[in-house]
Amino acid sequence: MDNVLYKLWHDLNSPMVFTAFIGTLVTLAGIMSTSAIRNLFLGRMSSFVLSSGLMSSRTLDSASETIRKSPSQVARLHIEARLKEAEFSQKEQQRESKSSKTTSTLLVIGQYIIGGVLASSFIQESLTPKLVGCLGVVVLIASLFRQQFHPEINAEDARKKASQLKALIRFSEDQLSILDAQIAAGQDHTDAMIALMSQITQRLTEIESPEAVAPTRST
């Protein structure tokens, strides 16, 4: 065991081996930060289930009060629930954008470092064949992860969704404030409240799950 550790320490004292070692660590960090791996080990979906459960409990708590509320107030409660859902989704997309961008950056840097080490015939002659083979496998795995998970594309998609959700929240809050002001003035805007509620729900579906939106038939 001591001989193995001594050999490893001796190899790391070589600038080429140390550079390759750093590149390997960076690449592995990029792989471990991939969304699929992160969800597997960290169980990020549990936070979504928890938040959904909290929203459901709030809905159940307010269910007994809906009988005493007007139709517009009932619709407003549902709008508030949808806005909370949109805010939660926006934060999730922002986190996904940042983490996917970090993943892409780490994988690219790792590939460049290791690729630079392997590109030099002089350096390859200084390394053992097993180490050269291992570094080649690391580069291949990093390349496969980039092709499979497309972290740079995921980062851009998440960024766009976060921007769309932010715009939806702003628009909906403005419309809700306008309707509240008009209702406070004595006007009945129950239909407008229901229309806004449906609009928010539809837009949320379009942003989060565009494949779930039925395509419109051209006449």
Count how many domains the chain has.
Answer: 1
- CA-closest candidate to residue 124, choices 113, 116, 132: 132
In a domain, 32, yes or no: yes
Q: Is residue 37 over pLDDT 50?
A: yes
79: buried, middle or exposed (CB in 10 Å: 19+, 13-18, 0-12)? buried
Average pLDDT, the chain: 75
Q: Is residue 83 part of a domain?
A: yes
Domain enclosing residue 77, as ranges: 2-210
Residue 216 domain-assigned?
no
The verdict on residue 218 lying in a domain is no
Task: Look up the pTM and report it.
Answer: 0.69
Q: 146: which 2 tokens?
A: 């980039």
Torsion sign over Cα 125, 126, 131, 136: negative
Q: 99 lies in a domain?
A: yes
Q: What pLDDT sits at residue 69?
A: 72
Which pLDDT score, from 0 to 100, does residue 14 have?
A: 55
CA distance 53 to 123: 57
Say if 42 falls within a structural domain: yes
Residue 217 falls within a domain, yes or no? no
For residues 84 and 55, give the distance between their C-alpha atoms in angstroms, rounded to a whole number.
8
Asked, for residue 79, whether it belongs to a domain, the answer is yes
In this prediction, residue 46 carries a pLDDT of 45
